[in-house]
Amino acid sequence: MIRVVVVDDQELVRTGLRALAERDGDIHIVADAVNGEDGVSVVRRHLPEVVLMDIRMPVLDGIEATRQIVADPALAGVQVIVLTTFDEDENIFGAIRVGAAGYLLKDISPDALRTAIRTVAAGDALLSPSITRTVLYRLARQTGSTRPELVAALTQREREVLTRVGMGESNREIGVSLRISPATARTYVSRLLATLHARDRSQLVVLAYESGLVTPGLTPG
């Protein structure tokens, strides 16, 4: 059973998410909260595997609430999916940058919502390659330069794996691309997490873009 907390200031949204998420029986909403501050407290109390977090809320917004959850060592096993109606670049990047495992719009289909919860509960990132290409590279252009020093300590093979992670490939797809087994790809990803001090796969995607390993238009080859 995947335990989930919903944080949203609209009761209708909270009720709807509960009904949709719990339909197949393997997902259970253990609690909900009406703002980010209450959400952080509820998460600390219930220790869910996944949090569905609205971005725009009173008292404390979802990005700051996500940052507090991710920064708390006692909540290391909690994954946050940011859920919003606002398809805005700064919100997408802000959520990913502070450690959200994924970003979804509230008009997502019920099946896709449940799949998203299962995906992040299993430890995988939930990042649309099209969203990351647009948002993260835009940030790089705004800052004026990339930071290759972020990956200076990596081997050539580790850089290749990180590039594939940045392009949104799964471990299986990385294995096919680089002609290694999925288990070996998983080992490389775990090593990258440790070497780069990244909390999860989402942060590896951020690092791939910030370091300049991945740029818009880069396709598998």
The arrangement of secondary structure in 2-126, i.e. its CATH architecture, is 3-Layer(aba) Sandwich (3.40)
The burial of 156, by beta-carbon neighbours within 10 Å (0-12 exposed, 13-18 middle, 19 or more buried), is given as: exposed
Q: Is 56 helix (H, G, I), strand (E, B) or coil?
A: coil
The average pLDDT across 116-136 equals 71
CATH architecture of 132-210: 3-Layer(aba) Sandwich (3.40)
Which pLDDT does position 220 carry in this prediction?
Answer: 47
Q: Are 72 and 44 in contact (CB under 8 A)?
A: yes
- Residue ranges per domain, the chain? 2-126, 132-210
Residue 133 pLDDT level (bands cut at 50, 70, 90): low
Tokens of 44: 């600390």
Determine the Cα–Cα distance for residues 99 and 221; give it in Å rounded to an integer: 29
Model pTM score: 0.74
User: Who has greater pLDDT, 128 or 49?
Assistant: 49
